[in-house]
Amino acid sequence: MSGEDGLPSHTDILRVLRESRRGALKSKELASQLGVETSAYAGLKDVLAVLERDGRIYRVKGGRYAVSEKVDLVVGRLSLIRSGDGFVAHEHGGGQDVYVPFGDLASAMDGDQVVARIERRTRGRNPVGRIIEVLERAHTRIVGTYRRTKHLGYVVPRGRVMPRDVLIPQGDEQEAQDRDVVVVHVVSFGDRKLNPVGEVEEVLGPITAPGVDILALVHSYGLAPDFPEEVQSAAEELARTQRPEADPARVDRRELLVFTIDPLDAKDHDDALSVIPLRPGHWEVGVHIADVSAYVESGSVVDVEALERGTSVYMVDRVIPMLPHALSSDVCSLRRDEDRAAVSVFATLDTDGQVGDVRFERTLIRSRHKLSYEEAQDVLDGADSVAADVDAAIVTLAELARCVRRRREERGSLDFDLPEARVVLGSGGEPLDIQRVTRLESHRLVEDFMLLANEVVATEAVRRRLPILHRVHEPPTEQKVAALREFLGSLGQVLPQGAVKPRDLEQVLERVRGRPEESLLNKVVLRSMQRARYASDNLGHFGLALEHYCHFTSPIRRYPDLVTHRVVVRALVEGRSVPESWGGEELDAVAERSSAREQAAAEAERDSIDLKKVEFMGRHLGDHFTGTISGVVAFGFFVLLDDYFVDGLVHVNALRDDYYEFREGEYSLVGDRRGRRFRLGDRVRVQVARVETEERKIDFLLEEILPRSGGQTLV
């Protein structure tokens, strides 16, 4: 039962504890049942400590060990809700989330890894429990509003991260004034009776000061707006002294017509494209990626900081880069008319989008043109010209991209067409306009070739058994599929029985394209998916319907791409073996860290946009707008405005003329007495009634129903 080191596996330990009729066992009893020799007993204690720290087992009275579920304990992450109560989600899957009332949270905060004891179970409802231990703190710093009374100071946390105010002892408030936004280091987390205690670390300023709202978000998500001085100095030194273009082993590809296509205001250019004809019906496409690994050595201070950050974060009013600007927007960036080091993937494509020969090179390139997506689109539309050779290359790439995309669609790759918002800011950071981002053919062109390059790299890495960070997306759980199947069935959409395939879901999305329910269905299907993440094991990518996939094309702004570059350069360019130390537990840790930072960045970016939407609509309180019902739920319906890409809620309680019933299968609310119906796609006129900055919510009042056929009906 024991391995070569005399120690049992985690699986064996968990099995013995689950099968134990006594419920809990002492470590010596475990050693006896597992056949662990005396000489390996200390090692067993270490293994048990790891399992306990991970929440897989728990020590009960008398120092005995038990699997958590056998003693009515649940280990998982706590999520607080608006009321201040919380839910604990099982850390290792299975079972319902445990509901924890506010009074039973003890000192636990949002995101903490906790142990909850189940106190009672009611059929058809979540079990109810209380927190008995916090295993790992998600936050030691919080952001909030400092308040000062005659006798004491305290901070009201922003958001739902902490359910109670933090007391600030006299002398620990720094220069904070009443109603300033501050960053607080939590010294004591308190308990059921005592509030947490903290000390002010940084005063961000009055919430009304320009930029403080976003800066508060930055600190709330643990993002670092500035680099440590030693990291900044090291990056600047690398930018001055490193000359990768002088490496004689680097292939000179400056004769190629290479250009970048990026957002108009982009500063860091990760990728560039080229295309040349080979023979009739065949072209060689070059995907050229900034060679960040030529500057950032593994284990250096710049590398350690990049791993800590994990990704660049694109807030609504600023970019928080993964790498200092001396690298990210200067020497690493593929800037126009400057020699730059790149790692290039060259792939032969035919008119069917089939990939033929592939080769990898460490290259020296020179971008001839810096194009925006809009400029590239004008070329495709025939509305403008860059230069004859560039125009021809863009058109050829677009044709090949469509072929590649068609092959991807044929295998069932999911294409969620969810619109995004663009916030136009004034000089003081105030929102001037909220626009809908239009997805252009030029966006798809670049996306198609980045996806292809990532797939090609992953496929070759798997074939050669190289240790890379895979970008994995596991199939939806059986529970999520069952719920989705039931929901779709109520809408007249059929999802085949058995294991769901990407193609099954894509067919559902295809059937509703262009219909009022398209946006809703996209969101519902997306929510049924598991979250994509990084892993050292190749688990495939469900959403793309791929067996092998990784991230390779953005090493300036994503740490996993930089890790992949190092492997590609060493194994696929230089032909050398990859050290064992590049894989194993170290790679697992990088995957976990990168996934967590990616999630935090995505949430911060989304919240920053929502914050500006609320601020923008706050200046329109009482104003009237027309819009379209974009979502219907039991508690009301959402209206997307015509003038701005903003939606808000008309709460069912504000519909005072009748009692309204939610009919899920019809996407509608229907009045019980008068039969008035509110459906997806209906046209309405609303008034902005209320905005809630903290909760980032916008409430509308219904004024008029505007029939789809024209005219208007008074409410």
| pLDDT per residue as tens digits for the range 317-340 | 999 999 999 999 999 999 999 999
pLDDT over threshold 70, residue 387: yes
Residue 112 maps to a domain: yes
CA distance 503 to 675: 39
| pLDDT at residue 70, as a whole number | 66
Residue 491 maps to a domain: yes
CATH number assigned to the domain comprising residue 146: 2.40.50.700
Banded model confidence at residue 3, pLDDT cuts 50, 70, 90: low
DSSP alpha helix (H) spans, 279-428: 301-309, 325-326, 373-381, 388-410
Residues 289 and 396 in one domain: yes
In this structure, the number of other CB atoms found within 10 A of the CB of residue 706 comes to 17
| pLDDT at residue 73, as a whole number | 80
- pLDDT tens across 284-295, in order? 999 999 999 999
Q: Which of 152, 179, 209 is the last residue of a domain?
A: 209
| pLDDT at residue 674, as a whole number | 87
Q: How many domains does the chain have?
A: 6
Residue 120 maps to a domain: yes
Residues 276 and 373 in one domain: yes
CA distance 215 to 656: 40
Beta bridge partners of residue 691, listed in sequence order: 698
Cβ within 8 Å of residue 32, ≥6 positions away: none
How many CA atoms are closer than 13 Å to the CA of 576, on its beta-carbon side? 8
Bridge-based pairing state of the strands 282-290 and 98-100: unpaired
Residue 360 maps to a domain: yes
Residue 614 maps to a domain: no
Residues 295 and 319 in one domain: yes
388, 379, 568, 373: which is closest to 468 by C-alpha? 568
145 CB-contact burial (10 Å; exposed 0-12 / middle 13-18 / buried 19+) = buried
| pLDDT at residue 689, as a whole number | 96
Residues 249 and 132 in one domain: no
Residues 482 and 334 in one domain: no
**What is the widest separation between alpha-carbon atoms in the chain?**
87
> Running DSSP on this structure, what letter comes out for residue 327?
I
| pLDDT at residue 712, as a whole number | 41
Indicate the average pLDDT of the chain: 89
Residues 650 and 694 in one domain: yes
CATH number assigned to the domain comprising residue 121: 2.40.50.140
Termini Cα distance of the chain:
74
% of the chain beyond a pLDDT of 90? 58
Banded model confidence at residue 602, pLDDT cuts 50, 70, 90: very high
196, 204, 193: which is closest to 146 by C-alpha? 204
- pLDDT tens across 94-138, in order? 567 899 998 888 888 888 888 888 888 887 788 899 998 888 888
Q: Is there a contact between 138 and 167 (Cβ–Cβ < 8 Å)?
A: no
CA distance 613 to 350: 46
Please indicate whether residue 344 or residue 580 has the higher confidence score (pLDDT).
Answer: 344
- pLDDT tens across 461-510, in order? 999 999 999 999 999 888 888 888 888 877 778 888 888 898 988 888 88
CATH number assigned to the domain comprising residue 27: 1.10.10.10
pLDDT over threshold 80, residue 170: yes
384, 457, 437: which is closest to 609 by C-alpha? 437
In the block, tokens 């019933």 appear at 661
3-state secondary structure 159-182: CCCCCCCEEECCCCCCCCCCCEEE
Residues 280 and 379 in one domain: yes
CA distance 712 to 391: 48
In the block, tokens 């190629």 appear at 256
Torsion of CA 669, 674, 675, 677, to 10 degrees: -40
| pLDDT at residue 4, as a whole number | 54
- pLDDT tens across 419-478, in order? 889 999 998 889 999 999 888 999 999 999 999 999 999 999 999 999 999 999 999 888
Single-letter residue type at 298: S
Residue 584 maps to a domain: no
CA distance 353 to 10: 46
Please indicate whether residue 134 or residue 699 has the higher confidence score (pLDDT).
Answer: 699
Residue 310 maps to a domain: yes
Residues 64 and 77 in one domain: no
Number of H helices and E strands in the chain, helices first, is 15, 33
145, 110, 320: which is closest to 223 by C-alpha? 320
Banded model confidence at residue 691, pLDDT cuts 50, 70, 90: very high
| Domain region containing 372 | 231-457+561-567
pLDDT over threshold 80, residue 52: no
Residue 25 maps to a domain: yes
Residues 439 and 370 in one domain: yes
| pLDDT at residue 713, as a whole number | 37
Residues 379 and 504 in one domain: no
In this structure, the number of other CB atoms found within 10 A of the CB of residue 461 comes to 24
524-554: b or e for each residue (b if 16 or more CB lie within 10 Å)? Answer: bbeebbeebbbbbebebbbbbbbebbbbbbb
Banded model confidence at residue 714, pLDDT cuts 50, 70, 90: very low
Residues 520 and 638 in one domain: no
Banded model confidence at residue 91, pLDDT cuts 50, 70, 90: low
The helix or strand, by DSSP H or E, that contains position 484, with its residue range, turns out to be helix 478-490
Sign of CA dihedral 390, 395, 398, 399: negative
Q: Is there a contact between 645 and 625 (Cβ–Cβ < 8 Å)?
A: no
In this structure, the number of other CB atoms found within 10 A of the CB of residue 94 comes to 9
- The structure tokens listed for 56 are 């897989």
The beta strands (E) that lie in 373-516 are given as 421-425, 431-436, 470-472
| pLDDT at residue 715, as a whole number | 41
Q: How far is CA 485 from the centre of its chain?
A: 25
Average pLDDT value for residue range 385-410: 96
| pLDDT at residue 711, as a whole number | 42
Residues 188 and 97 in one domain: no
281, 201, 633, 613: which is closest to 424 by C-alpha? 613
